[in-house]
């Protein structure tokens, strides 16, 4: 049975912007409505899909306000815990756009490249090999004009996020891994400019399934 690890942030966790707007704590979409659930349903019972999303996770940055969000620290644990893995789907970079990190698009992509290096150097794949990789450029963020608090937290992030696909595509080419650009597929909710509604989760999950089938 091919096993897939989906390593990402709150959009892999399944953050529901509509339900969360009326809640004091983050609320998840139902499992079947998350893109990971849509992917699992499209692939069928012959595949195992492991959803490893965390709110606020970055590629390689330490968040001074929310410890434990560094993807470089967490990824080796997930690789070892769930091995053997046939494929790792990596979709991170949105939280790297926060003002606190002051990271240009090239540095964010370099953070993703560092995680690709961890996967490629691991023995977490079948028979001690490295797993195959699908690098996903995260969707664009914003607009934040009607959200002053988030506009400060993600200063200039909307424009920077739209420059990420070229950098991510280049890294995928350089490392020989598969690539998917989520930006033409998914639009963030206007409620927070960051997260997906159920319809966008479905579109992304279906596109992921097509990409996975071509890889495996």
CA dist 173 and 94 (Å) reads 21
SS3 of residue 145 by DSSP: coil
What per-residue confidence (pLDDT) applies to 194?
98
- Going by C-alpha positions, the residue among 189, 106, 172, 185 that lies closest to residue 138 is 185
What per-residue confidence (pLDDT) applies to 59?
98
What per-residue confidence (pLDDT) applies to 82?
98
End-to-end CA distance of the chain: 11
Positive or negative, the Cα torsion across 78, 79, 85, 87?
positive
Beta bridge partners of 216: none
What CATH number did the domain enclosing 84 receive? Answer: 3.40.50.1110
CA dist 106 and 53 (Å) reads 23
Domain residues for the domain of 83 are 3-215
- Residues of the chain short of pLDDT 50, as ranges, are none
Whether the CB-CB separation of 138 and 182 falls below 8 Å is answered with: yes
CA dist 84 and 79 (Å) reads 8
What per-residue confidence (pLDDT) applies to 56?
98
What per-residue confidence (pLDDT) applies to 47?
97
What per-residue confidence (pLDDT) applies to 49?
98
The pTM for the full model equals 0.97
What per-residue confidence (pLDDT) applies to 57?
98
Whether the CB-CB separation of 85 and 97 falls below 8 Å is answered with: no
Domain count, the chain: 1
């Amino acid at each position: 049975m091919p096993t897939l690890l989906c390593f990402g942030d709150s959009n892999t966790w399944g953050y529901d912007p509509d339900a969360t707007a009326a809640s004091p704590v983050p609320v998840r979409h139902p499992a079947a409505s998350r893109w990971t659930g849509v992917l699992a349903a499209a692939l069928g019972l012959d595949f195992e899909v492991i959803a490893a999303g965390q709110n606020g996770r970055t590629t390689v940055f330490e968040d001074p306000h929310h410890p434990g969000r560094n993807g470089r620290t967490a990824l080796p644990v997930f690789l070892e815990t769930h091995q053997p893995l046939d494929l790792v789907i990596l979709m991170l970079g949105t939280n790297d756009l926060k003002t606190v990190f002051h990271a240009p698009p090239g540095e964010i992509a370099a953070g993703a490249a560092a995680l690709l290096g961890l996967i490629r150097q691991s023995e977490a794949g079948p028979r001690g090999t490295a797993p195959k990789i699908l690098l996903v450029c995260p969707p664009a963020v914003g607009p934040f004009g009607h959200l002053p608090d988030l506009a400060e937290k993600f200063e200039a992030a909307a424009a920077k996020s739209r420059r990420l696909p070229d950098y991510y595509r280049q890294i995928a080419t350089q490392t020989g891994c598969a690539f998917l650009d989520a930006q033409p597929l998914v639009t963030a909710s206007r409620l927070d400019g960051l997260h997906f509604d159920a319809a966008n989760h479905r579109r992304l999950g279906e596109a992921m399934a097509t990409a996975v089938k071509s890889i495996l």
